[in-house]
């Protein structure tokens, strides 16, 4: 769907994109990075609205440098900022955008009604948009991006300004864009949890450089672990400590969930999954110690935990972006990534701990 090769965008005092090379396949792809990482700049280049300083990019096989018009006929775009005329109804606006995309009048009206129904605005479609809530305005922006039946939609921070319920509804809509209509989606966000629950693939950039590009499952599988909880016995009043010592002696990497400060988690151990025999080793150790096994379940870390704990591996997964690290910012600084995304799980309404 999208392919870039050494894509670079330089402004007089900042490099927004630095030799970015990435391929994006059909499906729902998340583009994640902190504010200022280069996400919006990349979208403008992909739409043919801003010429790149160096490198090349293709969208649906079309060259962004001289086929921007053809790209915009086939691609929908939802901008980040509020740009809706307040004295116009949703129907009037979306019909106008459909006509601008080349649909004839009758088809534009029919597509507008169908699209507004899909995004949940059918009953409010004749109201002036100046009286809409933030969530309703975001739905109008999504509708105008979909009305001409594009092959690909680019959604720039679609959950901006939404409360938790509105954010969940928007994420469900985004997922349905692909599952119901077969339209591929590139969605940008600075909240890692949003992409984890919505996207098939995640691309992470920082300082205009590629940090990692892989499937969501690969991100979390890299940090898979077993959550193990056991009971105490008269012979072993601290069964958790005894099991931790036995598993460590067996060569496994073990830590207590309480190490992260989670309340009420002192009896839960996290055992790194380093091979197919880990579950058997844990089971045998529990039996040998005469403990009761409360639970043993696979746990995948949230993407935010992967960056907090394993940033060097993440940065080296793709071998970098093909350039040096000058100006890379936090690309190879685990502490910086941890600071940058310290509030992510709090914003997402969860800590990532085992429930």
> Domain boundaries in the chain?
2-219, 224-300
342 pLDDT band, cuts 50/70/90, is very low
Cβ within 8 Å of residue 300, ≥6 positions away: 220, 221, 223, 224, 225
Q: Which pLDDT score, from 0 to 100, does residue 309 have?
A: 47
- pLDDT beyond 60 at 344: no
The predicted-structure confidence for 137-195, as pLDDT tens digits, reads as follows 999 999 999 999 999 999 999 998 888 888 999 999 999 999 999 999 999 987 777 77
Measured CA to CA, the distance from residue 44 to residue 314 in angstroms comes to 27
**DSSP labels, 121-166:** -GGGTTSBGGG--HHHHHHHHHHHHHTT--SEEEEESTTTT--HHH
Find the mean pLDDT for residues 229-240.
Answer: 90
- Please state the pTM of the whole predicted model: 0.68
**Residue in this structure with the two tokens 């002192």, named with its chain if needed:** 266
Query: In angstroms, how far apart are the furthest CA atoms of the chain?
Result: 81
DSSP string, 86-104: TTSBHHHHHHHHHHHTT--
pLDDT at 42: 94
Level-2 CATH architecture, domain 2-219: 3-Layer(aba) Sandwich (3.40)
pLDDT tens for residues 94-146? 999 999 988 999 999 999 999 999 999 999 999 999 999 999 999 999 999 99
pLDDT, one tens digit per residue, over 305-319 is: 555 544 433 333 333
Question: Which is more confident, 300 or 232?
Answer: 232
Q: Does residue 278 register a pLDDT over 60?
A: yes
Under the banding of pLDDT at 50, 70 and 90, the label for residue 301 is low
Q: How many other CB atoms sit within 10 Å of the CB of residue 339?
A: 12
| CATH architecture group of domain 224-300 | 2-Layer Sandwich (3.30)
């Amino acid at each position: 769907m999208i392919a870039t090769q050494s894509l670079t965008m330089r402004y007089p005092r900042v490099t927004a994109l630095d030799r970015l090379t990435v391929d994006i396949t059909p499906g729902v792809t998340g583009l994640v990075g902190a504010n200022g990482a280069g996400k919006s700049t990349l979208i403008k280049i992909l739409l043919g609205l801003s010429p790149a300083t160096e490198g090349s990019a293709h969208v649906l096989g079309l060259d962004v440098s001289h086929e921007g018009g053809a790209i915009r006929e086939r691609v929908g775009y939802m901008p980040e900022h509020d740009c809706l005329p307040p004295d116009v109804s949703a129907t009037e606006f979306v019909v106008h955008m459909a006509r601008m995309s080349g649909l004839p009048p009758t088809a534009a009206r029919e597509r507008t009604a169908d699209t507004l129904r899909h995004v949940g605005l059918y009953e409010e479609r004749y109201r002036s948009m100046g009286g809409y809530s933030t969530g309703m305005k975001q739905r109008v922006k999504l509708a105008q991006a979909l009305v001409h039946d594009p092959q690909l939609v680019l959604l720039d921070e679609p959950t901006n300004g939404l409360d938790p319920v509105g954010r969940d509804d928007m994420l469900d809509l985004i997922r349905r864009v692909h599952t119901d209509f077969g339209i591929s989606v590139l969605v940008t966000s600075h909240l890692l949890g949003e992409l984890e629950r919505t996207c098939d693939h995640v691309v992470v950039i920082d300082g205009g450089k590629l940090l990692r590009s892989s499937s969501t499952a690969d991100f979390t599988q890299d940090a898979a672990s077993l959550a193990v909880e056991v009971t105490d016995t008269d012979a072993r009043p601290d069964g958790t400590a005894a099991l931790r010592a036995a598993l460590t002696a067996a060569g496994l990497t073990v830590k207590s969930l309480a190490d992260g400060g989670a309340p009420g988690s002192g009896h839960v151990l996290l055992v790194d999954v380093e091979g197919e025999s880990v579950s058997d080793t844990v089971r045998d150790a529990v039996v040998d110690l005469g403990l009761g096994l409360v639970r043993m379940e696979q746990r995948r870390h949230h993407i935010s935990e992967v960056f907090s704990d394993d940033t060097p591996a993440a940065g080296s997964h793709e071998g970098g972006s093909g350039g040096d690290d000058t100006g890379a910012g936090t690309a190879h600084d685990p502490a910086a990534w941890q600071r940058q995304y310290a509030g992510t799980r709090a914003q997402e309404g969860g800590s990532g701990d085992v429930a």
